[in-house]
Amino acid sequence: MKINCFVPALIAAAIALAPGASAAEKKVADPVAPKSTRVLPTTPAGVTCITNVLAKYPEHTVEVIVYVPDKPGVYPTILDIHGGGWSARQVENDKPMMGRLATRGFVTALVSYRLSTEAKYPAALSDCKAAVRFLRANAVKFKIDAERIGVMGGSAGGHLSGLLAMTSGKPEFEGDGPYREYSSAVKACIVMASTMDLYETSKANTSTNAIQFFGVKCSEDPQLYKQVSPITHVSAKSPPTLFIEGEKDKLKVGRAEMQAKFKAAGVETGLFTLKDAPHPFWMRQPWLDETVEHATEFFHRHLGSVKSADKQ
């Protein structure tokens, strides 16, 4: 089923001001700089937006929204995992970024995973892994090169994108979602404005979002918090990972330590810090365009460019 992915300004504003949004997310409804503007989602010319049902659960129907370039070819693909403290659905907020990337020579997709208010961990990760498998299962339909898939996300989505990428090939993290005959591995990862060590950030306090996500406090199950921290799973098999952060954002605990582990393992990693950027910068101009530029260069370098279908 094809749909237009446009939502009015009132809907976007309502998302930012939703009761379930965190304090940081609510702040984005206010101007953070004189020239900062929130961007509304539209489907770019030359791109078709298709919404697909991935799995139906009593608490939520998980969907994968796919932006497919109209031009023929076989494309590298990027899955986006939205933020929102694991508890607010912010798919609409990430659509401007993924729509723009779809005009840069990628098939792009977003997954509306189950929130912590609907199902506890590992539901969110299971849905994201299933979304990668769905893209592989439908590669021909969406002009996807199944061997060239990357993942990105910001805030809580950055945590999930990092965890998905670092646990590639580990069956205990696959979950029970559909398309299990396909791999959920990715070849490249971008983490934006996110904590990579949940144990370190939670051991001395009681983060409401984390407790809701896990269902327990860190003091009650510290091993769980460690196992769900992307930094725990870095190895020589980890994909190249780029970090993008806002200069004014504080959600970066564990990033430097994780990059040190990448370097020790011989895995490429990089960092871009966007000047004056707040949290979440990828939803606003001028930082949205900067983010898209960095993501375009990184993913083309590691996933390649569009190829003719007859060369596959």
pLDDT in tens, 261-296: 999 999 999 999 999 999 999 999 999 999 999 999
Domains and CATH numbers, the chain: 9-307 (3.40.50.1820)
DSSP conformational letter for 239: P
Question: Which segments of the chain have a pLDDT < 50?
Answer: 1-34
Rounded distance between C-alpha atoms, residue 28 and residue 90, angstroms: 13
Rounded CA-CA distance 302/76 in Å is: 10
Q: How confident is the model at residue 9, as a pLDDT? A: 34
Contacts of 281 (CB under 8 A, 6+ apart): 192, 193, 246, 249, 274, 287, 288, 291
Cα distance between residue 194 and residue 243, in whole Å: 9
**Nearby residues of 119 by Cβ (< 8 Å), 6 or more positions away:** 57, 59, 60
Q: Rounded CA gap, 252 and 191, in Å?
A: 10
19 upstream amide cis, omega within 30 of 0: no
Report the candidate in 223, 221, 245 with the shortest Cα–Cα distance to residue 232: 223
Q: What is the tens place of the pLDDT at every residue in 123-171?
A: 999 999 999 999 999 999 999 999 999 999 999 999 999 999 999 999 9
Alpha helix ranges (H) inside 172-277: 198-202, 208-214, 222-227, 255-265
For 293, residues 6+ apart whose C-beta sits below 8 A from its C-beta are none
3-state secondary structure of 108: strand
Q: Are 165 and 85 in contact (CB under 8 A)?
A: no
Question: Which residue is listed with tokens 């190829």?
Answer: 307
What is the C-alpha to C-alpha distance for residues 265 and 262, in angstroms, rounded to an integer? 5
- pLDDT at position 250: 81
pLDDT given at position 252: 84
